[in-house]
Structure 1
Amino acid sequence: MPVAPIVLPPLPRLPAAVPRSGVSSDARRALRQLLGDVDRALATAFRDGADASALARRRSESVQRIVAHVWSACLGEVSGAALFAVGGFGRGLLFPYSDVDLLALVGPSDPARLRALEQCFATLWDIGLKVGHAVRDLPQCRALAANDASVFTSLLDARRLVGDPALEESITAITTDPALWPPAAYLAVRLAERDARHARYNDTAYNLEPNLKDGPGGLRTLDALRWLGRRLAHADDFDDMVGEGLLDPAEKNTLEQAEATLRHYRFALHLEAGRAEERLLFDYQRALATRLGFEDEHEKNLGVEQFMQGYYRAASQVERLGVQIAERFEEMLEPPSAAQAVGEDFIRYGKRLAVRDPDLFMRRPAALVEAFIVRLGEQGIVGFTADTMRRIHQATAALERSLADDADVLAAFLRLLRLGAPAVEALWRMNRHGLLAAILPAFGTVFGRMQYDLFHVYTVDEHTLRVLRNVARFADPAAAAEFPIACEIWPTLAQPELLLLAALFHDIAKGRGGDHSVLGEEEALAFGRRLGLPEADTQLVAWLVRWHLLMSTTAQRQDITDPDVVQRFAETVDTSERLDLLYLLTIADIIGTSPKLWNGWKDRLLADLYTATRYALGSEDELPPDAAARVRACREQALTLLEGEGFTADACMRVWRGFPESSFLRHHPEQIAWQTAAVLQAKGATPLVAVHPQSIRGTTELFVYVPDRDGLFAAVTAMLDRLHLSVMEARILSSPTGMALDTFLLLESDTQQPASAERAEELKQRLHRALSQPGHVHQPSRRSMSRHLKHFQAAPKIAFSTVGGRTRLALVCSDRPGLLAAVAQAMTDAGVRVHDARIATFGERVEDFFLITDRHDAPLDIAQQDRLLQALLERLGTAKRA
């Protein structure tokens, strides 16, 4: 953040005011001009490096003079009435477009005075101030404060601007009355308000477009700490809270530095938006980063990422300390408890843990980790005492450079990890106290590290901790319904600590400029050896870090029904132990990246790949059967299912004469049985459109059986786009009898869930009507791009290769409405046939893979590839070969 001498504009000189005469039009113009001059001067001072807090105070002082001037002009010097600033204005801070919140305290209703107040507020609006005001008498003020904690809180900030001084004492009498919101009740209501407010922002400070004011760790959190200090401990500010033992000096400095960052960003955001915007929207992030002097280091450490890391670090520090200070307030209000010994080094006071020896952590640093282990083993413990928390912070800060290499500390850390799933909660708490980053310095470097995209919705540190929590869920039998294979694997793990370590390190090298998997592997190797793990265990953790993306990319980008794909994956994995750990890590990683990423389709994909790979890793006599054997096995299982539904073997065989052999290689027996039943029930009628709302693949399955023709894929995808259904996978097959057997796996675009029965029927009817018009050209629908996507558009990258007698097209591009339908239409324009499609979307990034041929089912030559590239250019915009 730039540092420069504070050069503040002078306070405004006001035009002469005639009491009770109101404000003339000339005076209003002068005040409007004056206010504009103040704001322009403040903006210039900010650009020149002046402190945002000082500028916000200067704006408050300037506005205060203007407000007092208008009050005097409209009401004059009156007794029994006064005007108070509340909210941020009451605290003496006004950002460039902040509301000016006012409370007019008046005596019994006086029509003339009320008209003068109306004139006063109208004048303030007219000159350009966004005023929020309330007019009350003292009994009303007291009654509202007694019934509404938010009103009571607003009075804590109330500051008299002008009017009867006696009323200031009346406000103070309300806020200091012990009968109104006693400490315990006030703490409870403030914590409930905090929890409700945080829930609106997913209980995390790490939102992609965070709210500087109301989000977790935002400026409201700092205000709330001051309100609690004032009401519960008679501590008006952080200095007073240090005196009361609620903060130590280092924590106070941390809060003040974080507050300075948040205020700096808020001031800049108001100026950039030109209004009272509190959200760091994508619309402003890049411009703000440039305005505040952040520059791109390399493609994996952009200036905007550095800018946002500054926010995330500040907000995280505020959020963490806010939780801990709230615990201290709770402890302060708890009745005294008798001490109970907990081992040699710790004491329990009711629900809180303390150290026997105040110097324990400095004398024996391993006790820092042991404290969290002991806390796990004690029933009913809710936290540490305030004094113990303070000593943890002080020791961590004092010993920070040595903790990562202290053999006893590392031995204690390994003991913690060996507790398995329960260790995850301790790791979260250690992170809140800064201890995790002290033991793992590399973890500290990704504190607040974000990636500027729509795929990674959390910072690296937050994502890592969520991955750990997801891993711990596999130990809970209640999760078996959602994660049956994972919960079956977990009890078989001989060393769950190795999975926890892999989760800790899998993204630890993000932002360094190289391949984070390779760099993370090196970090994991070094730490495993410092930790004293056997070399084989260290190598296993490092392998998991190196290949933590392998399973998800294989499942989503390749055809896992192809034995060669599975065999190559199995050769890389090599052992069942690696496969088990990689499967658990992959699921935890996907869910921890974004709650919206996990769905039934991905669950089924990973389960299928896991099962096939276990089979491939078996003994020599359990190798996967050859293609002919696999076809026979699929036919036999499908026939058993069909006969169970009353179909005869002869009828099924007649249908299967029109199914290509690849149908039985690429589909599950359940899918073959369902498709066959649909054909038999149609009795030769085409087009046949069958929709299974909840297929075994965790998706809605669409089966189209029609006479084959060029452009069919484009027609189907255009209709799916109109119905807002996303294609996860498409398999386009042609029968020996000239029929197309096209299968699409679908999810609802908005929810990423399978379609309802009603939606499935709608799809069936509308697609049937569309395919009944073979000469009709089905153009993709035109929909506007979302605000989010507009900020992440990049030129597509296209690569061609040859696979098994077909051309493989890899398309990497930015997502947008109607993308797949546009690609399909481009292929039709270029005379290309689609045989297979794998569709994967990662936030705003799309990675689609197609197996294609020309209209003679031959691979595309260079000229045909260029024609397709040109067609894609016309549909998608500028593209380039990868």
Structure 2
Amino acid sequence: MNAAAQPPADGSSPPSTPDGDAAWAAAARAALARSDAALAARFDRGEEVDALVAGRAGAVDAAIREAWARCIAADAGLSLFAVGGYGRGELFPQSDIDLLVLGEEVAQQAHRDALARFLALLWDAGLQASQAVRSPAQCTEAAADQTVLTALMEWRGLVADDAARQALRAAIAPDRVWPARAFFRVKVEEQRQRHARFGDTADNLEPNLKDGPGGLRDIQTLRWMAQRLLGSGNLESMLTFGQIGAVEFDTLERERKALSRLRFGLHLVAGRREERLRFDYQKPLATRLGHTDDADSLAVEQMMQGFYRSAGRVLRINDRLLQRFEEQLEGAGETLPLDERFELRRGYVAARDRAWLQQGAAEVFELFGVWAAHPESRGLHSMTAWALAETLPKIPAYDEAAPALRERFMALLRGPQPVKVLERMARLGVLGRWIPAFAQVSGRMQFDLFHVYTVDQHTLAVLRNLAIFAAGSGDERFSNAHTVWPSLRKPELLLLAGLFHDIGKGRGGDHSELGAVDAREFCEAHGLSEADTALVEWLVRKHLLMSVTAQKQDITDPEVIHRFATAVADRQRLDHLYLLTCADIAGTSPKLWNAWKDRLLADLHTATRFALRRGLEHPVAAGERIAENQVTARNLLVADGFTDADIDALFACMPDENFLRSRPDQIAWQAAALYGADSAATVVGARLLRGDAGGYEVFVRTPDRDGLFAAIVITLDRLGLAIQQARALDGPGGSIFDTFQVLPSDPQNPPAPAQIEVALQRALAGDLDRLLPSRRTQPRHLKHFRIAPRIGLEPAANGQRTRMSLICTDRPGLLADVTHVLRQQHVRVHDARIATFGERAEDLFLIADADDRPLDDTRSEALREALRAALDAASPP
């Protein structure tokens, strides 16, 4: 840059010239800005990322050396080193600039002011550098912290002679601090903890490119290991020492460059130091990288699929290499023969002869069978995993394989730990070779908040849930699934349905239909009978049927149950579909499955099983359902000490429809709450559904008046309770009879049932018009998932109500705002079903005017406009 900024010829300290420093800093800042702009342009032209990060490091090197020359005399006894990522010669647009000033304490003190001037000059030039000033002995002391050692290991001399380089090298040598074995153990534990912070998966909606599982830090960890154990910190040295295969090396280098390019672009798009690929940046980054929307996927989905695939490969290779480093440090360990071809080495399943495994798919399938038969193993030996990776090209697609090979695959599904086998095959790339359609959905994301996993990871989560059902011991999240599983004739058919249920995503068209075609072709190729093939095909085609029925229709209505039972047709299909639906919903998002949905599906399963046993030609009539529920509820109340006269009086306080649409235990609980209350009194009950985190059932009986439903909803919303289902019935004597299924928005701090009851009693005792929806800050991510509101208003099936459907962006307080509009429009709510799918709300209401008649066209249009205005006013810009 500025050639005048050289130290005096006599070696004395350069004079302090504040005006000159300011001019130099301004010139340096301008030069760096021009360099960064040129690098950004080169990035947009598609230039190799390694050249770009090296180019920025070079530009920063020049500026730092000039600043050093302006401030520090040549004979000061101080040396300057780049450390950390900057020490590797890699600088991304917003990367940290870490410096080490090396010198004895006497020199440090003598030039303390000059060093402060040097750092200030860098900041004035726009380089937000951090510097540590240490002697070699202080470096050794500081390196007791392994994170400091890691940064110092990647040093690069900026202004340093050979003696200084040797002194730093010796100060952090393994014989002084962190010998190889201790360093390995602490870095492995550091990586484990780092992965745990991200849920041990790279498949996050907003992944961290640097520190997340499969990110750049995992590759750097391998380099640090190589440097400490092998004496060389580059991946090429691992080839020389036989620690990595050529295919593994090429893969790791390819994914490193792919991740680095994403990180470089992220820094450009964010304009600040950012390592997390947030929703704010995903779309602009995908555009900048040249991705475009097509018929099958959005540009952002294409970019994210590339990331997830890269991260998955990095994780696989990282796991293998760490295992090899461990073996080098700890020795080969004990070997235990398993059969003539396999053994356990240090607890890992290993093929005795690598060349045997590389013959083809039959040998690979045999390996997975042996692995499944020995659950005590620690995993797959790294050298066998290496051989397996080199064998992948020899594995044919199933439709090109011999019948004997297909039978081997089906034997794995019928053998021990079939879900583990499929998980391992997916992780190691075998499943994608055998089923090419699975490879297509590997790493495929959907740009929404509902699907929090990639398609392949969601599929594996569904299979893991099925394995939980198969265990037979029960899981508190699933009340009924483990009792249904034993009814399955051939459990492998359900596993195949789970494997194929989403395999058609990303190809355009209905993924259920596409997946059903794939499933049939697979089953026929593998020799399954027509009956078994038809079951798997039907399950894939109809895998959403039970979820939609339970969440969007009234399953207490005998007609709904009869229609669903007719579609299912037999008990075998019902049991398979029930288990698949539970596993599918629970495997979509950790927040999606809850006690209410568990009970909802269990109730639908029970009611449909009864309908099938009774016979579809004998549908249950409403009167018969009411009588059965009353008898069962009466027995429960008698057991609690109520007399028949008491029960008759309590039942007379309830609407007839409540006996049709409630379970007997609900009816008995509501009746007990009404006992002793005056007919004009407000009665509120709240109870836990199941367990502390299972949500609540809330019941309100009170004299009817305008705005009651909205007041209840607003109050529940203020208590932090999200409504899942609401039912508003007209009770005897001008009362309303409302029930709500609610979940706490903060499961860690839920209100007590008594707190809910008191809050509702207070709210309903006063002026209802004073209760207004709370205003909340909308979550940041919702602005990236705006859904244009769709409001449908049509006559209900019975002709006595209007059916209102609302699809819009979900947000806190949405239902409170909607019911507030309904109150302002003098609209009464008789039923509500609240369904949320990520950022998407799909709510259904049965409504009527103030005279309990369907809305006419004028009232419908007024309501539609009022709802649109309220939703627009509350939407983030």
Question: TM-score category by the smaller chain?
Answer: over 0.9
Query: Structure 2 CA distance, aligned partners of 1:284 and 1:363?
Result: 46
The equivalent residue for 2:831 is: 836
Match of residue 149, structure 2, among 141, 152, 157: 152
Query: Do the aligned partners of residues 309 and 405 (structure 1) sit closer, same or farther apart at CA in structure 2, a change above 3 Å counting?
Result: same
SS at match of 1:366: helix
Query: Structure 2 CA distance, aligned partners of 1:431 and 1:229?
Result: 28
Match of residue 119, structure 1, among 117, 142, 162: 117
The equivalent residue for 2:481 is: 486
Query: Structure 2 CA distance, aligned partners of 1:737 and 1:498?
Result: 55
Give matches, 1:448-847, under 5 Å. 448-620=443-615, 625-684=620-679, 686-694=681-689, 698-751=694-747, 755-757=750-752, 760-774=753-767, 776-801=769-794, 802-805=796-799, 806-847=801-842
* Greater Cα shift, 615-624 or 209-218: 615-624
Q: Is 1:17 aligned to residue 6 of structure 2?
A: yes
The equivalent residue for 2:294 is: 297
Query: Structure 2 CA distance, aligned partners of 1:836 and 1:14?
Result: 80
Match of residue 365, structure 1, among 329, 352, 361: 361
The equivalent residue for 2:372 is: 376
Match of residue 204, structure 2, among 202, 207, 213: 207
Asked if the contact 2:105/2:134 (under 8 Å) is kept, the reply is no
Q: Cα offset for 1:32?
A: 1.9
Match of residue 226, structure 1, among 217, 223, 236: 223
Query: Structure 2 CA distance, aligned partners of 1:874 and 1:709?
Result: 26
Q: Letter of the 1:17 partner, please give it.
A: Q
SS at match of 1:37: helix
Q: Letter of the 1:497 partner, please give it.
A: E
Query: Do the aligned partners of residues 682 and 140 (structure 1) sit closer, same or farther apart at CA in structure 2, a change above 3 Å counting?
Result: farther
Q: Is 1:863 aligned to residue 858 of structure 2?
A: yes
What's the CA shift string for 1:491-523, capped at 9, x where partnerless? 333311111111111111111111111100001
SS at match of 2:773: coil
- In the alignment of these two chains, the number of paired residues is 862
SS at match of 1:134: strand
Query: Structure 2 CA distance, aligned partners of 1:378 and 1:707?
Result: 67
Q: Letter of the 1:165 partner, please give it.
A: D
Q: Is 1:103 aligned to residue 92 of structure 2?
A: no
* Greater Cα shift, 577-586 or 629-638: 629-638
Query: Do the aligned partners of residues 15 and 832 (structure 1) sit closer, same or farther apart at CA in structure 2, a change above 3 Å counting?
Result: farther
Query: Structure 2 CA distance, aligned partners of 1:523 and 1:493?
Result: 23
What's the CA shift string for 1:737-760, capped at 9, x where partnerless? 110111111111233x89442xx3
Match of residue 83, structure 2, among 83, 86, 93: 86
Query: Structure 2 CA distance, aligned partners of 1:618 and 1:195?
Result: 52
* Greater Cα shift, 869-878 or 454-463: 869-878
Query: Structure 1 CA distance, aligned partners of 2:848 and 2:292?
Result: 45
SS at match of 1:731: strand
Query: Structure 2 CA distance, aligned partners of 1:547 and 1:650?
Result: 48
Q: TM-score, normalised by structure 1?
A: 0.93
Match of residue 270, structure 2, among 253, 269, 273: 273
Q: Letter of the 1:762 partner, please give it.
A: Q
Query: Structure 2 CA distance, aligned partners of 1:357 and 1:100?
Result: 48
Q: Cα offset for 1:395?
A: 1.2
Query: Structure 2 CA distance, aligned partners of 1:424 and 1:707?
Result: 55
Asked if the contact 2:398/2:406 (under 8 Å) is kept, the reply is no
* Greater Cα shift, 335-344 or 262-271: 335-344
Q: Cα offset for 1:75?
A: 1.5
Asked if the contact 2:711/2:768 (under 8 Å) is kept, the reply is no
SS at match of 1:509: coil
Q: Letter of the 1:199 partner, please give it.
A: A
Query: Do the aligned partners of residues 317 and 455 (structure 1) sit closer, same or farther apart at CA in structure 2, a change above 3 Å counting?
Result: same
Asked if the contact 2:449/2:838 (under 8 Å) is kept, the reply is yes
Query: Do the aligned partners of residues 560 and 349 (structure 1) sit closer, same or farther apart at CA in structure 2, a change above 3 Å counting?
Result: same
Query: Structure 2 CA distance, aligned partners of 1:306 and 1:41?
Result: 27
Q: Cα offset for 1:388?
A: 2.0
Q: Cα offset for 1:720?
A: 2.0
The equivalent residue for 1:8 is: none
Asked if the contact 1:503/1:585 (under 8 Å) is kept, the reply is yes
SS at match of 1:512: coil
What's the CA shift string for 1:454-479, capped at 9, x where partnerless? 01011101111111111111233443
SS at match of 1:181: coil
Match of residue 329, structure 1, among 322, 325, 330: 325
Query: Structure 2 CA distance, aligned partners of 1:630 and 1:453?
Result: 41
Q: Letter of the 1:81 partner, please give it.
A: L
Query: Do the aligned partners of residues 492 and 646 (structure 1) sit closer, same or farther apart at CA in structure 2, a change above 3 Å counting?
Result: closer
Asked if the contact 1:693/1:755 (under 8 Å) is kept, the reply is no
Q: Cα offset for 1:683?
A: 3.4
SS at match of 1:511: coil
* Greater Cα shift, 331-340 or 809-818: 331-340
Query: Do the aligned partners of residues 73 and 511 (structure 1) sit closer, same or farther apart at CA in structure 2, a change above 3 Å counting?
Result: same
Q: Is 1:136 aligned to residue 134 of structure 2?
A: yes
Q: Cα offset for 1:654?
A: 2.4
Asked if the contact 1:795/1:878 (under 8 Å) is kept, the reply is no
Query: Structure 1 CA distance, aligned partners of 2:244 and 2:507?
Result: 35
The equivalent residue for 2:24 is: 27
Q: Cα offset for 1:409?
A: 3.0
The equivalent residue for 1:314 is: 310
| Structure 1: unaligned runs, 5 residues or longer | 1-11
Q: Letter of the 1:63 partner, please give it.
A: V
Query: Structure 2 CA distance, aligned partners of 1:384 and 1:177?
Result: 30
Q: Is 1:430 aligned to residue 425 of structure 2?
A: yes
Query: Do the aligned partners of residues 848 and 235 (structure 1) sit closer, same or farther apart at CA in structure 2, a change above 3 Å counting?
Result: same
* Greater Cα shift, 241-250 or 188-197: 241-250
Query: Do the aligned partners of residues 406 and 72 (structure 1) sit closer, same or farther apart at CA in structure 2, a change above 3 Å counting?
Result: farther
Query: Structure 2 CA distance, aligned partners of 1:311 and 1:656?
Result: 61
Asked if the contact 1:630/1:665 (under 8 Å) is kept, the reply is yes
The equivalent residue for 1:9 is: none
SS at match of 2:133: strand
What's the CA shift string for 1:42-70, capped at 9, x where partnerless? 22222232222211111111111211221
Query: Structure 2 CA distance, aligned partners of 1:387 and 1:655?
Result: 74
Report sequence identity in percent: 46
What's the CA shift string for 1:819-863, capped at 9, x where partnerless? 112221222333322111111111101111111222232333333
Query: Do the aligned partners of residues 133 and 693 (structure 1) sit closer, same or farther apart at CA in structure 2, a change above 3 Å counting?
Result: same
Asked if the contact 2:828/2:850 (under 8 Å) is kept, the reply is yes
Query: Structure 2 CA distance, aligned partners of 1:634 and 1:170?
Result: 86
What's the CA shift string for 1:271-316, capped at 9, x where partnerless? 1111011111111111111222211113x51111112112111112
Query: Structure 2 CA distance, aligned partners of 1:167 and 1:25?
Result: 31
SS at match of 2:174: coil
Asked if the contact 1:699/1:746 (under 8 Å) is kept, the reply is yes
Query: Do the aligned partners of residues 14 and 467 (structure 1) sit closer, same or farther apart at CA in structure 2, a change above 3 Å counting?
Result: farther
| Structure 2: unaligned runs, 5 residues or longer | none
* Greater Cα shift, 41-50 or 83-92: 41-50
Q: TM-score, normalised by structure 2?
A: 0.94
Query: Do the aligned partners of residues 840 and 807 (structure 1) sit closer, same or farther apart at CA in structure 2, a change above 3 Å counting?
Result: same
